Amino acid sequence: MGNYENILALMQEYSGQDYRRAKLEDLQSMDRTPQFVQDAENCWLYSMFNNAYFNLRYKLSSAEVMEIKEEMRSYGINIEDGAGSPLSGAFIARYLSQKTGKKIRAFNIDILGDKNDFVRIAAKLGYVFEIARVASPAFYADIDDNGEINQIHPTRSATGLHSTNVRYDRSRCQFKELGSWGNSRYNSFYYELKQFVENIRIRGISQIFTFFAEMKDA
């Protein structure tokens, strides 16, 4: 098989898995400080490094990050340019499966179609989710006034898309973004709950959320 077929097979095995197959646990006490800062236009890669830390209790070392990057390059993937979390998630999940001896996968949940389960996984268990959202001057101006997103941001206003992580903050009843931009006011901010859902409905935020977990035994 060529690289394309090999990558597709890898993604089918390790990414996009049904969340019902995930072995879930209580993660409320876990640290929620992002550990990785993107080094190019590769939020799609570094958001998933952070997601592995948040949900798997596994902080990849610098050497391990380099190993994953080199493996991706060997498949012809440009890791400094735009791509998506299904791609990075597959390589990270395979690496961590081999490293830990566990069946690590990237799972998807449709938060509008599976709303009740999403609320349980996010609010009760404390999982962190990778999302894709719009990036635009209006979006960041919305943050500037009070550190919150409380407006609607349609895709037509976007200058691009950004892959990042969010978690539910029970103390504020809001979602909080946990980014990969380091010391930036746009790296950590909140979403008003109503506007968060409305932005998903108009596709300013992806409807499919992704998270790492161990797969249940068959």
Q: Is the pLDDT of residue 149 over 90?
A: yes
Model confidence over 42-91: pLDDT tens digits?
Answer: 999 999 999 999 999 999 999 999 999 999 999 999 999 889 999 999 99
Q: How far is CA 121 from the centre of its chain?
A: 15
DSSP conformation class of 163 = E
Stretch 144-159: mean pLDDT: 94
Query: Token pair of 111, please?
Result: 């938060």
- With a CB cutoff of 8 Å and minimum separation 6, the contacts of 163 are 43, 44, 47, 48, 84, 85, 130, 131, 132
- Decide if 24 contacts 125 (C-beta within 8 A): yes
Contacts of 127 (CB under 8 A, 6+ apart): 24, 27, 54, 55, 121, 167, 211, 213
Please give the helix or strand (H or E) that residue 167 lies within, else none: strand 160-169
pLDDT of 8 strictly over 60: yes
- CA gap 117, 109 in Å, rounded: 9
Question: What is the per-residue pLDDT across 167-209, written as a single tens digit (0 to 9) for each?
Answer: 999 999 999 999 999 989 999 999 999 999 999 999 999 999 9
Is a pLDDT exceeding 70 seen at residue 2?
Answer: no
- pTM of this prediction? 0.96
Torsion angle in degrees (nearest 10) through CA of 20, 24, 30, 31: -30
Domain boundaries, the chain: 3-18+35-107+210-215, 109-208
The dihedral built from the CA positions of residue 62, 68, 71 and 75, taken in this order, carries a sign that is: negative
Say if residue 6's pLDDT is above 60: yes
Check whether 1 has a pLDDT greater than 60.
no
What pLDDT does 157 receive? 85
